[in-house]
Amino acid sequence: MSGMRVLVTGSRGYLGRRVVEQLTGAGHEVVPFAGDVRSAEVPACDGVVHLAALVRIRESFNNPLDYYDVNLTGTLRLLRAGAPRFVLASTAGVYGTPCGPVLAEDHPRVPTNPYAATKAAAEDALTWTARTGVAGAVLRLFNIAGGGDRDDTRLVTRACGVAAGRVPSLEVYGDGTAVRDFVHVRDAARAFVLALETAEPGRCEAYNVGATPASVNDVLAAVERGTGNPVEVVRRPAHPGETRELRADTAKLRGLGWEPRESGLAEIVADQWAAERRH
């Protein structure tokens, strides 16, 4: 596809920086969004990649209206600007507490926190808007990692921080056998570019973005092997009702030609550890 002028919200964030790199590498002109998505001017563009959002689950319980204001109202405002292509960053959290270990995009959405609920509402807004002719795509991210992440609430990042001595310990809830699906941030960024380029007018498709299922214990072992250092763990009781296993069915995304290139667990850990050492 010929180069497009693409507005990227959240372009300075962890994922946003990699999306900008991938868009530029694919020959597109990137327009970083400046200001608050609820009020700043929205420049004319051929497409939007909307990454900016409030994302803290615990915080969302205390400030649900703020989350709806930013995550939903901001999305509505960007949609009203009328770009013909629109890609929304969403979350696997829209599935809530699923009844099976492997999740496909047609699994019912039952969000269990205000953050995930705002993302489900934003998905709906894009889905209905697409029926007016917009080419839409929703990317439901599982656990992005690597690439120099600085968010110590994420498992791989915190484990590497503990191994480096920068963070005192890692809390593990339960026996560490709970499985989650991990994907390197650059592989996730490639998915956004592909979704933008292949979106069809009048349709909105949802895609899971995951790559490597691994347990908490698997991650801890990989970090200790990759760094040569121990990871201090504090054990806590398991959260009641926690889903034991969440794996992303990515057949739909792979059908577009996407393949993870850097999402092996050892690769993710090595990449994050290298960034940890540089800092």
φ/ψ bin of 202: left (φ > 0), alpha (ψ from -120 to 50), beta (otherwise): left
Are the C-beta atoms of residues 211 and 258 closer than 8 Å to each other?
Answer: no
DSSP 90: E
CA–CA gap between residue 2 and residue 250 (Å, rounded): 27
H/E element, 183: strand 179-184
Sign of the torsion formed by the C-alpha atoms of 55, 59, 63 and 64: positive
* Residue whose C-alpha is closest to residue 227's, from 151, 163, 148: 163
Active site residues: 115
Give the number of C-alpha atoms closer than 13 A to the C-alpha of residue 155, restricted to the C-beta side. Answer: 25
CA–CA gap between residue 144 and residue 51 (Å, rounded): 13
Residue ranges with strand state E in 54-173: 85-91, 102-103, 135-141, 143-145, 170-173
